[in-house]
């Protein structure tokens, strides 16, 4: 983490404001016998949890010489990792090329372009091995540019390390070391593996709970040991059609498959009832956290994450016309009418 050496309370750069995000308790939704706390990763300067890993992966690549002055950063990203990489990398003089699947929200892509990123769109509807698959496209672009640094958040060890070193200790300290469960999603697996490793070492009682979109292979794989044919889902940033090398699924105690409709309803409810503007993946996490909480017979202290801000999805999750078009509109659209 960069130091705050500006004197007084002013940071010298937005990069100094990455991490140390606030924790807020959910008090207006039914959490059963549990207390549920959300860590607002949306308060990072890039608006998501990915700022942490962007900083750690770039610093690690600089330290071991994979990234040299004037170099090129290439990544496959749902948008948030790319935004973090651009935020950290562009002011340092690196060029940033990002391969973004076309289902990602307009807000994220416009934000990247405004920053000066070279955005390459590719298809969302193809899987690993297809020439248009976003991770394969990024690997190919990186291979064609001499000296390019292919970040590869799915396998880069500096990704989980960021969460083990910062996110985990922040949660543990904020809750006085008493945490029964942590509910996470898996995109690259960095959050799961980093937090899982940290809590295994400091608090063996803490259970890692996976929130996964319906259509992703991860929750069925954990629950049944079977690999299903992947489907498609609307939630952005989590759910996979393969097991990323960074995702240590053995850390997961229980997994929930959450439908797009449940995720959207939970995100809307979080805004309407708690005043927290969160993205769709946070809706998935909240829906799973509430299910886990309500199934408990004794009080528990549970933590989940607001992975990114809903401001990135005003044209989607918070747009009733879009929800209706996607068949994701809620039964009873009024705030408080839906029980999530």
Q: Enumerate the active-site residues.
A: 50
Gap between the Cα atoms of 177 and 154, Å rounded: 29
User: Residue 91: what are its φ and ψ, rounded to 5°?
Assistant: -65, -20
Applying CB under 6 A, which of residues 46, 82, 237, 310 lies at the interface with ligand PMP?
Answer: 237
What whole-number distance in Å separates Cα of residue 88 and Cα of residue 94?
9
Indicate the residue among 71 and 196 with the shorter CB distance to ligand PMP: 196
* Nearest approach, Cβ of residue 332 and ligand PMP (Å): 27
Nearer to ligand PMP, 127 or 177 (CB): 127
Q: Which stretch binds ligand PMP (CB under 6 A): 89-97, 183-191, 196-204, 211-219?
A: 183-191
Q: Is 171 exposed, middle or buried (0-12, 13-18, 19+ CB in 10 A)?
A: buried
Q: Is 122 in the site for ligand PMP (CB under 6 A)?
A: no
Residues 124 and 132: their CA atoms lie apart, in Å, by 9
Q: Among residues 21 and 71, whose Cβ is nearest to ligand PMP?
A: 21
Pick 71 or 164: Cβ nearer ligand PMP: 164
Q: How many CB atoms lie within 10 A of CB 153?
A: 27
Would you state the structure tokens that stand for residue 309, as one six-digit string?
């801000």
Q: Which parts of 37-66 interact with ligand PMP (CB under 6 A)?
A: 48, 50
- Pick the piece of the chain touching ligand PMP (CB under 6 A) from 57-65, 127-135, 141-149, 230-238: 230-238
Check residue 294 and give left, alpha or beta (phi > 0: left; psi -120 to 50: alpha).
Answer: alpha
Q: In the stretch 295-324, what mask flags binding to ligand PMP with x, by CB under 6 A?
A: ------------xx----------------
Q: What is the chain's alpha carbon radius of gyration, rounded to the nearest angstrom?
A: 19
Task: Quote the least distance from Cβ 331 to ligand PMP, whole Å.
Answer: 25
The residue from 54, 97, 148, 186 that contacts ligand PMP (CB under 6 A) is 186
Determine the size of the site formed for ligand PMP (CB under 6 A): 18
CB of 300 closer than 8 Å to CB of 181:
yes
Which of 105, 156, 188, 216 touches ligand PMP by CB under 6 A? 188
Rounded CA-CA distance 179/303 in Å is 7
The residue among 71 and 97 lying less far from ligand PMP, judged by its C-beta, is 97
Give min distance, CB of 165 to ligand PMP, in A: 14
How many other C-beta atoms are found inside a 10 Å radius of the C-beta of residue 143? 11
Is residue 238 part of the contact set for ligand PMP (CB under 6 A)? yes
* Count of all residues that appear for the chain in the document: 340
Q: What stretches of 149-285 adopt beta strand conformation (E)?
A: 149-150, 181-184, 207-213, 252-258
Least distance to ligand PMP from the beta carbon of 112, Å?
13
Residues in contact with ligand PMP, shown as a per-residue x/- string from 66 to 95 under the rule CB under 6 A: ------------x-x---------------
Q: In terms of CB distance, is 71 or 288 closer to ligand PMP?
A: 288
- Cβ–Cβ < 8 Å for 285, 256: no
Quote the tokens at residue 13.
């750069």
If one asks whether residue 189 binds ligand PMP (CB under 6 A), the answer comes out as yes
Look up residue 216 and give its DSSP letter: B
Nearer to ligand PMP, 83 or 302 (CB): 83
Count the alpha carbons within 13 Å of 216 in the hemisphere toward its beta carbon.
31
Binding site for ligand PMP (CB under 6 A): 48, 50, 78, 80, 185-191, 236-238, 279, 281, 307-308
């Amino acid at each position: 983490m960069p130091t705050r050496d500006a004197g007084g309370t002013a940071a010298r750069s937005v990069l100094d404001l990455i991490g140390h995000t606030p924790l807020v308790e959910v008090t207006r939704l039914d959490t059963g016998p549990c207390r549920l706390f959300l860590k607002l990763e949306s308060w990072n300067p890039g608006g998501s949890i990915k700022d942490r890993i962007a900083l750690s992966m770039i610093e690690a690549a600089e330290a071991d010489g994979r990234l040299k002055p004037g170099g090129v950063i290439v990544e496959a990203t749902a948008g948030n990792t790319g935004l973090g990489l651009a935020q950290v990398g562009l002011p340092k003089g690196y060029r940033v090329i990002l391969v973004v699947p076309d289902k990602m929200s307009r807000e994220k892509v416009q934000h990247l372009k405004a920053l000066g990123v070279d955005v390459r769109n590719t298809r969302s509807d193809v899987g690993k091995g297809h020439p248009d698959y976003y991770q394969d496209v990024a690997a190919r672009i990186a291979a064609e540019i001499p000296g390019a640094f292919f970040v590869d958040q799915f396998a880069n060890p500096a990704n989980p390390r960021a969460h083990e070193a910062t996110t985990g200790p922040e949660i543990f300290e904020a809750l006085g070391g008493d945490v029964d469960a942590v509910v996470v999603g898996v995109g690259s697996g960095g959050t799961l593996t980093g937090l899982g490793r940290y809590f295994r070492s400091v608090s063996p009682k803490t259970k890692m709970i996976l929130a996964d979109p319906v259509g992703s292979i991860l929750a069925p794989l954990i629950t049944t040991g079977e690999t299903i044919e992947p489907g498609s889902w609307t939630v952005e940033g989590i759910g996979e059609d393969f097991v990323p090398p960074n995702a240590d699924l053995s850390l997961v105690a229980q997994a929930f498959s959450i439908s797009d409709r449940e995720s959207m309803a939970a995100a809307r409810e979080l805004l309407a009832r708690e005043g927290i503007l969160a993205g769709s993946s946070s809706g998935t996490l909240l829906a799973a956290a509430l299910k886990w909480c309500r199934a408990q017979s004794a009080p528990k202290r549970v933590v989940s994450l607001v992975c990114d801000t809903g401001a990135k999805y005003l044209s989607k999750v918070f747009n009733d016309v879009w929800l209706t078009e996607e068949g994701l509109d809620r039964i009873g659209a009024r705030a408080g009418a839906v029980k999530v």
